[in-house]
Structure 1
Amino acid sequence: MSLSLDKNGAAPADASGQEPLLAAALGRFEGLLAARGLRLTAARRAIVEAVLRRAGHFTVEALVADLRSRGLAASKATVYRALPLLTEAGILASAVLTADERTYERAVGREHHDHLVCQGCGKVVEFEYEAIEVLQRELAARYGFTLEGHLHQLFGRCADCRKGDTK
């Protein structure tokens, strides 16, 4: 399925079709907030909805721009304060950290994957490779660990950047 994105990288509001996903994510988030003595404010709800509309990797700046383009007053500080809570609730994942910025991606409704990151242009390629997953489980077992998750990022230079290096 192909989905056109707006200038901020978000799916159009009417194209999401993700009501069950949203309801489950909001329920999980509201439970976490209640356990912390916090409440689901309009701003927090809007941030959850904006994260779930995202189709790929995004920065905090892009998320704030998405919220503002929808007429919501959202500050970077509000979004940054919500990030750890969204991560703990399993709604958001820190995706890629480069020298310039950190990107995020939604964690719900997506399959696990790893990343190749070009250090020249910042291009990110998502990949799945079962042999790596098996090796990680074997290593964890060898050292007495039970895996609860992982981040796997391989850094290098893409073909386009390597071509530019030879000039």
Structure 2
Amino acid sequence: MRTHRNSAPAAEAGVDQALASFQSFLHRRSLRVTPVREAILRAALRRQDHFRVEDLVDDIRRAGGAVSVATVYRAIPLLVEAGIVEPTEVSGDGRCYETAFGREHHDHLICRECRRVVEFHFEAFEMLQREVAAKYGFLLTDHVHELIGVCGDCRQSREAQSPD
């Protein structure tokens, strides 16, 4: 089982590749890459964590850009369809997104107390999912896998606070 966090934003070469991929995607749909769409893409790729639309709006505005929440909401489905970002349900936090371009598939461990998210890949889960789907005649197209519990730090904190 490999664990990782999205610890580094996409490198500039990766950003250029993602932008080229997005331009090609939009061109096939007779859409253009506007400066605002490019700013949204770049803001999404700079994120090191799971994010909401409002986070991207804040990031772009902090960088001196002008963008509306509605514009970002309209751009997100394009970024998802292009494979640049993917939606994720980080338990109870509503709809979030994370960078998908250039990253391997992974699942999530979520602490229900501090909301810490650990990303991991466990091939045995992937194999089991394919077996279960095949058994019931399903062709898997996507899945969301979250394991929810209490992380070690929160358990230690709880134990330190509990009277003996």
Q: TM-score range by the shorter chain?
A: 0.7 to 0.9
| Aligned equivalent of 1:139 | 132
Q: Number of residues paired by the alignment?
A: 154
**How far 1:106 moved relative to its partner?**
0.4
| Aligned equivalent of 1:58 | 51
| Aligned equivalent of 1:5 | none
- AA of the residue aligned to 1:155: I
Tell me if the contact between 2:37 and 2:75 (Cα under 8 Å) persists in the aligned partners: yes
| Aligned equivalent of 1:164 | 158
Deviations 1:95-152 (A, max 9, x none): 3333243321100121211001222222111111111111011112222233333221
- Identity rate, percent: 52
TM-score by length of 1: 0.77
Separation (CA, whole Å) in 2 of partners of 1:157 and 1:23: 39
1:24 match: secondary structure: helix
Task: Report runs of 4+ in structure 1 exceeding 3 Å deviation.
Answer: 34-37, 159-167
Kindly indicate whether structure 1 or structure 2 has the higher relative contact order, using CA contacts under 8 Å at least 6 residues apart: 2
From 78, 82, 93, the counterpart of 1:85: 78
| Aligned equivalent of 2:38 | 45
Separation (CA, whole Å) in 1 of partners of 2:83 and 2:115: 25
Separation (CA, whole Å) in 2 of partners of 1:10 and 1:63: 17
Flag structure 2 segments of 5+ consecutive residues without an equivalent. 1-6
Q: Higher mean Cα deviation, 95-104 or 136-145? A: 95-104
Tell me if the contact between 1:94 and 1:102 (Cα under 8 Å) persists in the aligned partners: yes
**How far 1:160 moved relative to its partner?**
4.2
1:124 aligns with 2:117: yes
Structure 1 pair 33–107 and aligned structure 2 pair: CA distance change class (3 A): same
Separation (CA, whole Å) in 2 of partners of 1:10 and 1:128: 17
**RMSD of the alignment, in Å?**
2.5
TM-score by length of 2: 0.79
1:33 aligns with 2:18: no
| Aligned equivalent of 2:4 | none
Separation (CA, whole Å) in 2 of partners of 1:48 and 1:126: 22
From 95, 101, 114, the counterpart of 2:88: 95
